[in-house]
Amino acid sequence: MSASKMVEKLSRRHPLQRLESPSKGFSGVVHVFGLLIFYSDFKYLRDHPNFINDSYGWHLQYLTIIGLALSTLCFLSGLASDITSSPTLFLLKNYLSLLAAPLEILISLLYWTLLSISPSLVIPTTLPPLPLLNDLSFHLLPSLLLTLDTLLLSPPWPTAPMNPAAPVITLVTSSVLSFAYWIWIEVCYAHNGFYPYPIFGLLDTWQRVGLFAFSGGMMCLVGAGLRAAYRLVNGMEGVGEMDAEKKRE
């Protein structure tokens, strides 16, 4: 399929898409609200500096902040498409959501699980714990907002059955992100002499590799869970509908 045909296809609201998006209605409100939350998180980092601000990699050493940056780009392109009705920007939002949504859910699962075991696994002892509202804003609200966007404001793309390669796409992006983040935190450690999350320092090299591989696998499963949830909420195209769509192309 040519790029122009793909853009034209995505400019039409898919019959399984629950709510109108892009639009200046509910879709625009969700994206504006999300961007305000993300802005408040970055503002908190600026207004409450600590030794991480001056270290190599800044707060982007944290997977939480990497996810927040991706979510911000996703919602910025979503809001821009709401305002302009641009299918190209809507396409970009859907691409970014493919990575940002599973990542944010993974961050929430890992963070709250480890925090319940011991806060010292995820929060350095030299830093005070986050106030509860800020903690929720960093580690829960982004995953809820990205899930809402995926289930209600996105077409079933690039998820199956519209794109049967969705599981492979999720596996590849999850693996690449896990490997890239491992390399990144090792580079930061070489400059700073500490890991952003204390749990990394408690593990040897191969244990850290295992942790990142496990996280990549979890992210892949989360992507599969999102596809299943989409089908549960919105239904699934029948074979006849898919064949008719292909003929129209």
Each residue's pLDDT expressed in tens, for the chain with a length of 249 residues: 455 554 444 445 667 777 888 889 999 999 999 999 999 999 999 999 999 999 999 999 999 999 999 999 999 999 999 999 998 999 899 889 989 999 999 999 999 999 999 999 999 988 888 999 999 999 999 999 999 999 999 887 665 555 677 777 778 888 899 999 999 999 999 999 999 999 999 999 999 999 999 999 999 999 889 988 988 888 876 543 444 444 444
Average pLDDT score, the chain:
87
Number of domains in the chain: 1
For residue 12, what pLDDT is reported?
54
Distance between CA atoms of residues 182 and 209, nearest Å = 8
- pLDDT tens profile 88-108: 999 899 889 989 999 999 999
12 domain residue, yes or no: no
Confidence (pTM):
0.87
Identify whether 7 is part of a domain: no
For the chain, the farthest-separated pair of C-alpha atoms sits apart, in whole angstroms, at 62
CB count in 10 Å sphere of residue 240: 8
Give dist(CA 126, CA 93) in Å, integer: 38
Whole-number Å distance between alpha carbons of 23 and 80: 10
| 5 located within any domain | no
In a domain, 6, yes or no: no
Nearest to 104 by CA among 203, 13, 37, 11: 37
* pLDDT value for 5: 52
Residue 146 falls within a domain, yes or no?
yes
Residue 126's nearest CA partner among 193, 184, 198, 230 is 198
Peptide bond into 161 cis (omega under 30): yes
> Per the domain annotation, does 213 fall within a domain?
yes
In a domain, 9, yes or no: no
Q: Which domain holds residue 109?
A: 18-248
Spell out the SS3 assignment of 182-195: HHHHHHHHHHHCCC
List of residues 6+ apart from 110 with CB closer than 8 A: 215, 218
Domain contains 31: yes
